[in-house]
Chains A and B, each alone.
Chain A
C-alpha cells in the first residue's frame, strides 16, 4: 500500500467515520468534515502535475488476486490526472455547495455524505486503476452510489423510479463491459491496460476483436448517456442538485468518455471504432440538443444539454481515433485536433456545467420552482446568480471570450477536417459531420438563450413564487463563482492548460504520436471555416429565438418527454407481464403438471441422446431361455399390472396390488433369490395391511373425471417413460455383455466363508461387506416410523385424536 493507494481509498475509509461524526457532533454541519477529503486529495493530485507534464507517469503496484492477474495497480498519467483533478476539484466545490444547500436539521446528512464519498472513491478508482477488473469493480460501485444518491429522497416515487432506471441501464452496460473485458483477457491473457495497449496489434487481429469492442462500448455508452441509453439521465434529476452537478454533469457520466479515451490505443485505428463512436456521439449530440430545447424544467434542460455535450466529446474521440490509422502521416495536426478538442471540452464542460447546475439549484432553492414558465425577471433580484449563469450559458453556447467558444471552434474545425479524409468511406459520408455539428450547435445556442431569457429576464412576478425571493447566501455562491471564474480564466488564457493538462492527456490517448505542441488561440483568421460556422450559429440561433412565439405552440415544443421513454416503459412492463405469463402457464400448482414436465424432459433428453448416438441395441446371444412356467408368470403379472389403472374400487385395487406383489416374490423364487422372496412376501403382506387400514378411512375410488386430452397426454407420457426405460435397459444389457470384465460376484463366492464366516452370501453382504447400507436402511425405517407416529400424534390445530 503506497500513499497513492491510500489516497484512492481514503474516501471509502472516511465514509466509515461519517455516521459517527454526524451522530456525535451535531452542532457542526457534517459537510465541513467531509470537505477536508476532496480538498486534500486535490492538492495531493496537483503534486503529480510536474511528473505528467514532463511526459512521465507514476505506476504503483499492489497485489490483490495475483493468481488470477487481478491486481490493484494504480497508474497516473496525463489522462488519469486530468480526471482525478476534475473529480477532487469539483468534488470539493460540490461538498462546499451542499453544505449550504442541504439543511442540517431536516436532511439525513450522514447518508448523503457516505454515498457521496463512496462515489468519489469509486470514481478515483476507475480513473487511476490500470487493471480492467478493478476498473469494473469501481465502475459498479459508481452505479450503486449513483442510484443511492438519486433515491436520496426515497419517499418520493419519482426518485425511486429514476434510481431504478439508472441502475438497470448502467448495470446492464456494466455487465456487458465485463463481458468485453473477459474477451480482452481471452485474446491477450492480461487484465492490465498497459499490456493491452502493448498487445494492440494482437487484439486487432483476433476474431474476438469486434465482440469485445462492442461489449466494452455498450458499457461506455450506457454510463455516458449516449443515444439510445441516455434516457436515465433526465430522470436522475430527481437527485439533490449537488448530486446532479457532481455525478450527472462532471464526473460519472464522463466515466464512459474516460473508458473510450483510455482504450482508444487498444481499439483505435479500426473503421468500426471510428464509425460507431462518431455516429453514436453525433446522434447523441443532435438528439440531446433538440430535446433540450423542449424542456421546461431547468434541470431537465441541463440534463439534455449534458447528454448533448457528452455526445460532442464522444464524437471528437471517435474522429480522433482516425489518427491511429494515419499514425505516421505528416498531417498529424489534422487528426489530433479532434482529440485536443475532446480533452479541452471535457475540462470546459465540467466547469460550466457544474456552475450551471449550481445556479439552477440556487434558483430552485430560493424561489421554490424550476419551471421556466413560472420563472422570470430574476436578474435584478439575484445578480450574482444571473451573472454566473450568463457566463456558463455563453460558454456552453460557444461565445467568445469564454472557454466554450474555444472548444466549440476546435470541434467545428475537427468536423470540417473530416471532410478531407480519404479513408473509411469518409469521402462520401464525412460531409454529414459538419452539417450535424452545425445544426446541433444552433440548437445548443437556442436552448442557452431560452434558459437565460426565461429565467432571468422579463418581468418579475411575485405571485408565481411561494417563497420570498432573494439572493442566495454567500456560502452557496462560492462554488458557482469559482467555476464561473474558471470558465473565464480558461477562456482568456487557455494555454495555461495546454502544456500542463491537455498535452499529457493527449499523449495518454495517443501514445504512438509524439510531440504535441498545443497552442489554443481565439483568432484563426478570416479563412477559418469554424469562424464562419460560429457566426452562422449565432445568426441562426438568434433567428430561431425570435421566432419562438411561432414554434412554441407546436406539439413538438409542448411534448417534453423523450419518446424513447415509451420504449423503455414498454420493455419494462412487457418484461414483468411476460414473466408473469410464463410463470402462470408453467407454475400451475398441480403435481400432475410438474411430473409431466419432468417426464417429458427426461424422455426427450434420453431419446435424443439415444438417437444421436445410435445407442439402441438388443442382445440375443447372452440371454437365458424362457421356460413355459415363466411365460405364464409373466403373462399373469402383465395382466394384473395393466388392470390397475382401470380399477375403480378400493378393495379390488388392494387385491390386484397384492397379486402383483406376491407374483413378484414368485419371480424372486424363480430367479433363485430366497431372501428376496421371503422379504417381498413379508413386506407385501404388511403393505397390504397398511393399505387396508388406510383405505377404509379414505374416500371411495372414483372414476377419474379428466378431459380426454389430459388422459391422452398422460398416456403418451407414460408410454414414453416406459419405452425409454426399456430401451435404455436393453441397450445397457447388450453393451454390458459385450464388454469383457468380471463381476465382483466371484469375490463374494470366495470370501464369504473365508473372511466373514457365513454361508448365506446375501446376508453376509448385507451385514458384513456392505454393512453401512444396512445400518442406514435401518435408520430410514426408524425415521419413517417416527414420521408416521408424529403425523398421527401431533395435532397443532387441535382436532380430534385417533
Chain B
C-alpha cells in the first residue's frame, strides 16, 4: 500500500506543479492546496501504514499506528490552511485593486508577451 500511496502523492505533486506554473492566480492557489495534500499523504506514508490500532490508549490494543507523523500532519494542516486563507484574500485584493488575476499582467514592467 505504501508504494501505491507514494505514487499517488507523486501524482498530486505533479498536478499541483502544473497548476502553479499557470497564469491565473486562482489556479496557482488551487495548486498550492493540492500540493499540501500530497505532502501530508507522504508524511503519513513514510511513517509506515502498518495496520495497528488507532493511537488511543486504554482500549487494550496490542499495537498502535505511529502517532508522531499524525501530530506533525495536524500542525501542517493548520498552517497550510492559514497560508491558503491569506493567499485567497490576497488574490481577492489584488483583483480588486489591479483588476486582473493573470500573473503575466502583474509584472512590474511591460515589454514582450
| Pair A699/B86 contact, Cβ less than 8 Å | no
CB of A630 within 8 A of CB of B1, answer yes
- Per the bound structure, the CA–CA distance linking A681 and B96 in Å amounts to 30
Question: Which residues in A have their C-beta under 8 angstroms from that of B25?
Answer: 698
Scan B1-20; emit 1 where CB is below 8 A from any A CB, else 0. Answer: 11111111111111111111
Binds B, one of A93-101, A250-258, A429-437, A590-598: A590-598
Contact: A638 with B1, CB < 8 Å?
Answer: no
B93 touches A683 (CB 8 A): no
Contact check, A676 vs B78: say whether CB atoms are below 8 A apart.
Answer: no
Q: Are A694 and B88 in contact (CB under 8 A)?
A: yes
Mask: chain B, 51-83; 1 = CB below 8 Å from A; 0 = not: 111111110000011111011011101110111
Q: In A611-629, which residues have CB < 8 Å from any B CB?
A: 618-620, 622-626
Whether A673 lies near B70 (C-beta < 8 A) is yes
Task: Decide: A780 and B78 in contact? CB cutoff 8 A.
Answer: yes
Q: Is A47 an interface residue (CB 8 A)?
A: no
Q: Please tell me if the beta carbons of A733 and B19 are within 8 angstroms of each other in the complex.
A: no
Do B92 and A694 touch (CB < 8 A)?
yes
B109 touches A589 (CB 8 A): yes
| Residue-wise interface mask of A (222-237) relative to B, using a CB-CB cutoff of 8 A (1 in contact, 0 not) | 0000000000000000
Q: How far in angstroms is the closest Cβ of chain B from A432? A: 57
Q: Do residues A599 and B17 form an inter-chain contact, with CB atoms below 8 A? A: yes
Residue pair A765, B67 in contact (C-beta under 8 Å) = yes
B24 touches A701 (CB 8 A): yes
From B5, B58, B101, B104, A698 is in contact (CB under 8 Å) with B101
Partner of A592, one of B5, B21, B78, B83: B21
User: Which residues does chain B contribute within 8 Å of A661, judged by CB atoms?
Assistant: 37
Cβ-closest chain B residue relative to A767: B71
> B82 is contacted by which of A589, A644, A762, A784 (Cβ under 8 Å)?
A784
How near does chain B come to A419, taking the closest CB pair, in angstroms? 66
Flag if A759 contacts B56 (CB, 8 Å).
Answer: yes
Tell me the complex Cα distance, A717–B47, Å.
28
Whether, in the assembled complex, A675 has its beta carbon less than 8 Å from a beta carbon of chain B, the answer is yes
A460 to B74 CA separation, bound complex (whole angstroms): 97
A799→B97 contact, CB < 8 A: yes
* Chain A residues, CB < 8 A from B93: 791-792
Please determine whether A759 and B2 come into contact, CB atoms closer than 8 angstroms: no
- Contact check, B51 vs A624: say whether CB atoms are below 8 A apart: yes
Cβ–Cβ < 8 Å partners of B11 in chain A: 638, 641-642, 722
| Pairwise interchain contact A697-B65, C-beta atoms closer than 8 A | no
Most buried by A among B44, B75, B91, B108: B75
Chain A minimum-CB-distance residue to B12:
A641
With A672-B55, A788-B85 as contacts: A745 and B64 at CB distance below 8 Å: yes
B24 touches A762 (CB 8 A): no
Q: Is the CB of A732 within 8 A of B46?
A: yes
CB of B81 within 8 A of CB of A674, answer no
CA of A642 to CA of B7, assembled, Å:
13
Complex contacts, B51 vs chain A, CB 8 Å: 624, 672
Closest beta carbon of chain A to B61's beta carbon, Å = 10
Do A781 and B67 form a contact, CB below 8 Å, given A641-B12, A698-B91? no
Residues B6 and A733 in contact, CB atoms below 8 Å apart: yes
> Within 8 Å CB of B12, what residues of A?
641, 722
**Judging by beta carbons under 8 Å apart, are A781 and B78 in contact?**
yes
> B14, B22, B109: which has the most chain A beta carbons within 10 Å?
B14
Residues of B within 8 A of A752 (CB): 57
Residues of A close to B24: CB separation below 8 A = 701-702, 704
Q: How far is the CA of A675 from the CA of B77 in the complex (A)?
A: 11
Q: Does A576 contact B (CB under 8 A)?
A: no
Bound CA–CA A719/B7 (angstroms): 12
B59 to chain A, nearest CB (A): 8
Q: Measured between alpha carbons, how far is A63 from B90 in the docked complex, in Å?
A: 59
Do B92 and A687 have beta carbons less than 8 Å apart?
no
Q: Provided the pairs A759-B58, A760-B56 are in contact, do residues A791 and B10 lie with their beta carbons within 8 angstroms?
A: no
- Taking the closest CB of chain A, its distance from the CB of B5, in whole angstroms, is 8
Chain A residues contacting B16 (CB-CB under 8 Å) are: 718
Q: Are A626 and B1 in contact (CB under 8 A)?
A: yes
Residues on B with C-beta less than 8 A from A660 are 34, 37
**Proximity string of chain A (722-744) to chain B, C-beta cutoff 8 Å, 1 when within and 0 when not:** 11011001101100100000011
Known contacts A630-B1, A657-B33; is-contact A719 B21 (Cβ 8 Å):
no
**Which residues of chain A in 750-802 are interfacial with respect to chain B, using CB atoms and an 8 Å cutoff?**
752-753, 758-762, 765-766, 770, 773-774, 777, 780-781, 783-785, 787-788, 791-792, 797, 799
A-side contacts of B71, CB under 8 Å: 762, 765-766, 770, 773
Report if A718-B18 is in contact (Cβ < 8 Å); known contacts: A690-B84, A748-B67.
yes
Number of A-B contacts (CB under 8 A): 267
Q: How large is the interface on A (under 10, 10 to 19, 20 to 34, 35 or more residues)?
A: 35 or more
Contact B58 A591 (CB under 8 A): no
Contact A748 B17, CB 8 Å, known A638-B8, A698-B91, A760-B56: no
Contact: B37 with A664, CB < 8 Å? yes
- Please give, as numbers and ranges, the residues of chain B lying within 8 Å of A699 by CB-CB distance: 95, 101
Q: Is A424 an interface residue (CB 8 A)?
A: no
Point out the residue from A686, A722, A791 that lies within 8 Å of B81, measured CB to CB: A686
Task: Contact check, A671 vs B55: say whether CB atoms are below 8 A apart.
Answer: no
- In the complex, the answer to whether B17 meets A717 with C-beta atoms within 8 Å is yes
A172 at interface by CB-CB < 8 Å = no
Contact assessment for B92 and A698 in the assembled complex, using a CB-CB cutoff below 8 Å:
yes
Across the interface, B42 reaches (CB within 8 A) one of A588, A668, A729, A744, namely: A729
Q: Roughly how many angstroms separate A82 CA and B99 CA in the complex, as a whole number?
A: 75
Question: Is the Cβ of B30 less than 8 Å from the Cβ of A657?
Answer: yes
B96 and A690 within 8 A (CB)? no
C-alpha gap A748/B113 in the complex (Å): 57
Q: When the two chains form their complex, are residues B54 and A674 in contact, meaning their CB atoms are under 8 A apart?
A: yes
Contact B68 A765 (CB under 8 A): yes
Task: Return chain B residues, CB-CB under 8 Å to A787.
Answer: 86, 89
Q: Are A694 and B91 in contact (CB under 8 A)?
A: yes
Does A496 lie at the interface of the complex (its beta carbon under 8 Å from any beta carbon of B)? Answer: no
A-B residue pairs, 7 tightest by C-beta = A722-B14, A726-B10, A784-B82, A718-B17, A761-B67, A718-B18, A589-B107
Using a CB–CB distance below 8 Å, which chain B residues touch chain A? 1-28, 30, 33-34, 37-38, 40-42, 44-58, 64-68, 70-71, 73-75, 77-79, 81-86, 88-93, 95-97, 101, 103-104, 107-109, 113
Can you give 29 contacting A-B residue pairs, CB < 8 Å? A595-B20, A624-B50, A644-B15, A664-B37, A667-B5, A671-B65, A672-B51, A672-B54, A673-B73, A694-B88, A694-B92, A695-B26, A697-B96, A698-B95, A699-B101, A704-B23, A706-B22, A706-B23, A714-B22, A717-B21, A718-B14, A718-B17, A718-B18, A729-B42, A773-B75, A774-B75, A784-B83, A792-B89, A792-B93
User: Could you tell me which A residues sit within 8 Å of B by CB distance?
Assistant: 588-592, 595-596, 599, 618-620, 622-626, 630, 634, 637-638, 641-642, 644-645, 650, 653, 657, 660-661, 664, 667-668, 671-676, 679-680, 683, 686-687, 690-691, 694-695, 697-699, 701-702, 704, 706, 714-715, 717-719, 721-723, 725-726, 729-730, 732-733, 736, 743-745, 748-749, 752-753, 758-762, 765-766, 770, 773-774, 777, 780-781, 783-785, 787-788, 791-792, 797, 799
20 further A-B pairs in the complex, CB-CB below 8 A; given A624-B49, A657-B33, A690-B84: A592-B103, A592-B104, A619-B3, A630-B1, A641-B11, A645-B27, A660-B34, A690-B85, A695-B26, A698-B92, A698-B95, A701-B27, A714-B18, A721-B13, A736-B46, A761-B55, A761-B67, A773-B71, A784-B83, A791-B86
